[in-house]
């Protein structure tokens, strides 16, 4: 049986902290319910000490959800931990996630704190959090730039104090996959009580390596991944939930993990986040982008019409996308044009198809993409026929293949 991978979603906390992605209480509640339907294991609902609204949002999420663990973030301070505990109190399953920076850069320049003071704060905060819940996560902020000897001391102390999950973030996206793998192997090998906790990866995308780094961490023994829908988050974002999950589905030979994610809900979750924030997903975004299952090049379209596996490594319906889209444009081939005409019940001679194709390419040079209305207008002009059939009632449409702009 494949090992279970814990999916920790931080869209409502780290993701929401990104400029342009702020959400109110009701929006957070809607997205939290969708994340529950998606099947994530843990929902980090917010940072309660940050504001009254954030504390209320976490509490509302805790009240509303039944299956997932609801987590709240807290710095290693009594006030933060107490506020987080109040917010998650109504949850069926709760977690306090407490953190402090461990790199000398952060300790000296940001916190003005010694290593020993940091260590003391970690132990105190975890002990306080354990008085509220048995599920406590500790994160060492900027872990990948921390002194290894000191980091291992902190991790060992955190586990002894009662932390059940240890998260070692690549906070500024500085690492490479090779770095991350060696980093986790070293920590897990040197911390004597490491077997008493689940280790977690939280990777940022400043160098475009968040997903790659997260996958590398799995190879070193990490069993929880912290990620967000659409990869949103501070600066360049976090590791993308949908990408990590689909890698395990498409490449189980390399990443043989099971998750609780209901993958047909991925696209709906992505779309809801877009609706709530008003921030669109880039067209070429893996898994959920507009072009993820769209094909315009004639060679690709011909292959897709013969066997979709020629150019798609997963089925769109597996992630909740309505279907493959064969986009008509200047790169399209005659096969795609003929196929779309057939779907509207129009049979063209070889000569007519050639004319329609040339006219379509000429128009596509001017307007980039050809809509159904454009195609029907071209066919009517070429054929000199009666009014073309309505685009709302295609004939013989084959499931799984749509055409669009």
Instruction: Give residue-wise pLDDT tens across range 344-365.
Output: 888 888 899 999 989 989 998 8
Which residue blocks in 75-147 are alpha helix, DSSP H? 78-88, 104-106, 115-130
Residue 382: what pLDDT? Answer: 87
Q: Are strands 224-227 and 324-326 parallel, antiparallel or unpaired?
A: unpaired
Residue 405: what pLDDT? Answer: 36
For the chain, the structural domain boundaries read 6-277, 294-402
By C-alpha distance, which of 366, 346, 368 is closest to 356?
346
Residue 59: what pLDDT? Answer: 98
Instruction: Give residue-wise pLDDT tens across range 138-182.
Output: 999 999 999 999 999 999 999 999 999 999 999 999 999 999 999
Q: Which CATH number fits domain 6-277: 3.40.50.1980, 2.40.40.20, 3.20.20.70, 3.30.360.10?
A: 3.20.20.70
pLDDT at 391 > cutoff 60: no
Residue 326: what pLDDT? Answer: 82
Report the C-alpha gap between 268 and 279 in whole angstroms. Answer: 15
Confidence of residue 192 (pLDDT cuts 50, 70, 90): very high
Report the C-alpha gap between 387 and 208 in whole angstroms. Answer: 51
Report the C-alpha gap between 141 and 237 in whole angstroms. Answer: 16
């Amino acid at each position: 049986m494949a090992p279970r991978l814990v999916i920790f979603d931080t869209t409502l906390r780290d993701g929401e902290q990104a400029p342009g992605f702020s959400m109110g209480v009701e929006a957070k509640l809607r997205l939290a319910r969708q994340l529950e339907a998606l099947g994530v294991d843990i929902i980090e609902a917010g940072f309660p000490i940050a504001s009254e609204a954030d504390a209320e949002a976490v509490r509302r999420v805790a009240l509303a959800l039944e299956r997932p663990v609801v987590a709240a973030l807290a710095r290693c301070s009594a006030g933060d931990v107490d506020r987080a505990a109040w917010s998650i109190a109504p949850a069926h399953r709760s977690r306090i996630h407490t953190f402090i920076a461990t790199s000398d850069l952060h300790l000296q320049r940001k916190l003005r704190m010694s290593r020993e003071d940091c260590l003391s704060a970690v132990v105190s905060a975890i002990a306080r959090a354990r008085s509220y819940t048995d599920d406590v996560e500790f994160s060492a902020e900027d872990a990948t730039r921390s002194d290894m000897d000191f980091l291992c001391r902190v991790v060992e102390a955190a586990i002894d104090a009662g932390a059940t999950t240890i998260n070692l973030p690549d906070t500024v996206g500085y690492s490479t996959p090779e770095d991350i793998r060696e980093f986790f192997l070293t920590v897990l090998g040197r911390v004597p009580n490491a077997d008493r906790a689940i280790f977690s990866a939280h990777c940022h995308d400043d160098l475009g390596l968040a997903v790659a780094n997260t996958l590398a961490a799995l190879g070193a023994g990490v069993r929880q991944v912290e990620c967000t829908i659409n990869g949103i988050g501070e600066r360049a974002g976090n590791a993308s939930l949908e990408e990590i999950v689909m890698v395990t589905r498409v490449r189980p030979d390399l990443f043989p993990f099971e998750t609780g994610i209901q993958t047909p809900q991925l696209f709906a979750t992505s779309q809801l986040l877009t609706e709530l924030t008003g921030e669109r997903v880039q067209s070429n975004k893996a898994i959920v982008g507009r072009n993820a299952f769209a094909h315009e090049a004639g060679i690709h379209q011909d292959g897709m019409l013969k066997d979709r596996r020629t150019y798609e490594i997963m089925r769109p319906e597996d992630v909740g996308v309505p279907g493959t889209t064969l986009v008509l444009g200047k790169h399209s081939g005659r096969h795609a044009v003929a196929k779309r005409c057939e779907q509207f019940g129009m049979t063209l001679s070889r000569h007519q198809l050639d004319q329609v194709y040339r006219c379509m390419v000429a128009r596509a040079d001017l307007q980039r993409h050809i809509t159904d209305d454009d195609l029907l207008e071209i066919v009517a002009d070429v054929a000199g026929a009666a009014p073309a059939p309505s685009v709302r009632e295609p004939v013989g449409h084959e499931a799984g293949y749509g055409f669009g702009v």
